[in-house]
Structure 1
Amino acid sequence: MKNKILPISHIYINEDMINQRIDNFLIKKYKNIPKSVIYRIIRTGQVRINKRRIKQYYKLNIGDKLRIPPILIEKQKQNFINKNSFPDLSKNIIYEDNYLLIINKPSGIAVHGGSGLNFGVIEYFRYIRPLNGFLELVHRIDRDTSGILILSKKRISLCHLHKQFREKKIKKEYIALVHGKWPLDIKKISAPLLKIQSINHPKKVVIHKNGKYSETYFNIKRRYCATTLMHIIPKTGRTHQIRAHALHAGHPIVFDNRYGKNNLDINIKKITNINRLLLHSFKMFFIHPSDGKKMHIIAPLDAQFEKFLNILPEF
């Protein structure tokens, strides 16, 4: 395959580009270039803002002059979605207008490609809707978590919703099935979370005094013989926050391969063939970026999750 050199380019930052980190801006602009290349040209000072070197976390301001150096890339074969192995996510759309596309994401589907995956939700919708000039993830949820996922169809709506997230004006609610009988007196967990990463193990977060402040509210919805269905509201939005806090309480989420307890999961597998993380983002409240309308989105439990709850023995 032949190599290709992208020429040097200069971009003047306008209102549609401001408040983005430079690394995120370049990753979105050059979707087919490896992230390692993007970070290397930033780190080595080849990317300049107003003729100055910048760090990857620099946020673009209106009027900035961005210089992007020539980039050598290897021409690769076009990746296509295998429709036999990738579900028809258009059936999971629960709301759409000129500004937003909201789906009820299935468990097991990543929100974007990476870590060995060619496609995720965002790549799928860009593929089936090639005429959409702009389509970006507003937020992320874990691959194994199901439920509400918002995509933005306009830069202005993306910026507006990101501002709501920063100002903690967006409220998210989850449903989860946890092991054991959740104590009546545990309604809030405030425990700092610290990310840890090792070569041979996947990324995790742990309770640690040097971690970031994290707060989650837990309410009992229904009690079963050996499990409890919980209504959960995260007040902060840390990575794996609900899963780590549930484990901290001594009641990990059922079928959580990263924070769960395999010996407890094995007992439940004896009565069902379901094998997915039983955590679902089912409600979200936010202000519509166009007309200021209060939005209340609900994503029903999928049939597999619902069917499993119906066979569980209660008290």
Structure 2
Amino acid sequence: MRLTLLYRDDDLVAVDKPPGLLVHRSRIADADAFALQALRDQLGRRVHTVHRLDRPTSGVLVFGLTAEAARRLSAQFQAQRVVKRYLAVVRGWPPAEGAIDRSLDDPEASAAGQRAPRAALTRYRRLATVELPVAVTRYPTSRYALMQVQPRSGRRHQIRRHFLHIRHPIIGDTSHGEGRHNRFFRERFGLHRLLLHAWQLSFTHPMSGLPLDLEAPLDAQWGRLLAELGWTGALTTP
């Protein structure tokens, strides 16, 4: 496996993680391929984990090429000084903009009685909507929206769980989504994936102190979907 490099210097490397790829080995998931291992083999050198993306989520993923750079950038993530922008397709039409302020627990830690729910905040903005003349559920039509999402914290499955909470689950989410709409997108658009993409990442370079803006372009599947739904011109860069 060769990962697409989005950025590289002496301290950091950013890749475009494809959906379905774990960031690193996990005792709760069975897999043979990992982004950390693949990138290490591709570059022929050690790389250091800075942050994570859920296995089904695609997009910008940053690693440190030195332990110090990774430590400093990880501290920015923990201090919520990194601006993260995602794109998502959800069921229904959420408000034009808003925030979801709901504490979330870590399912593994909670099961072991180790951690209480932690504060979590997700801001969002609606970019486009569509109403299709298809009765996926009991309604004669089905509504969907393209969202720009900005999580302020980094809890496990935060965006997915927050949008489920406001009853606008992300399409393709088999853990926190709605099966009938997921099935419709598989049959109608041939999409067997979570429609959540880590689009842009902005932070201060941990070593130079200069601002750094990274972006993972949407792949061909996303492009075809945007075209079919009439959303091609909906993306804007803040």
Greater RCO (Cα-Cα under 8 Å, separation 6 or more): 2
Aligned residue type for 2:174: N
1:260-297 deviations in whole A, cap 9, x for unaligned?
00012222333111110000011111111221110011
Partner of 1:119: 33
1:313 Cα deviation (Å)?
Answer: 5.7
Structure 1 unmatched runs, 5+ = 1-86, 205-209
Distance 1:313 1:128, change over 3 A: closer
5 Å matches for 1:208-287? 211-225=117-131, 226-287=143-204
Distance 1:137 1:182, change over 3 A: same
Partner of 2:83: 171
Partner of 1:182: 94
Partner of 2:63: 151
**Of 271-280 and 110-119, the range deviating more from structure 2:** 110-119
Question: Do structure 1's residue 142 and structure 2's residue 54 form an aligned pair?
Answer: yes
**Structure 1 Cα separation of the partners of residues 230 and 78 of structure 2:** 42
**Structure 1 Cα separation of the partners of residues 59 and 80 of structure 2:** 20
1:128 Cα deviation (Å)?
Answer: 2.8
Q: Which residue among 186, 191, 198 is the counterpart of 2:102?
A: 191
Name the SS of the counterpart of 1:193 in structure 2: coil
Structure 2 unmatched runs, 5+ = 132-142, 232-238
Report the TM-score when normalising by structure 1.
0.64
Aligned residue type for 1:263: R
CA RMSD of superposed structures (Å): 2.0
Question: Do 2:72 and 2:206's aligned partners in 1 also have CA atoms closer than 8 Å?
Answer: yes
**Structure 2 Cα separation of the partners of residues 251 and 304 of structure 1:** 22
**Structure 2 Cα separation of the partners of residues 223 and 250 of structure 1:** 16
5 Å matches for 1:47-66? none
Give the fraction of aligned pairs with identical amino acids, expressed as a percent: 30
Partner of 1:128: 42
**Structure 1 Cα separation of the partners of residues 108 and 7 of structure 2:** 36
**Structure 1 Cα separation of the partners of residues 182 and 55 of structure 2:** 19
Name the SS of the counterpart of 2:123 in structure 1: strand
Name the SS of the counterpart of 2:189 in structure 1: coil
Q: Which residue among 78, 96, 99 is the counterpart of 2:11?
A: 99
Aligned residue type for 1:98: D
**Structure 1 Cα separation of the partners of residues 101 and 190 of structure 2:** 34
1:237 Cα deviation (Å)?
Answer: 0.8
Larger radius of gyration: 1
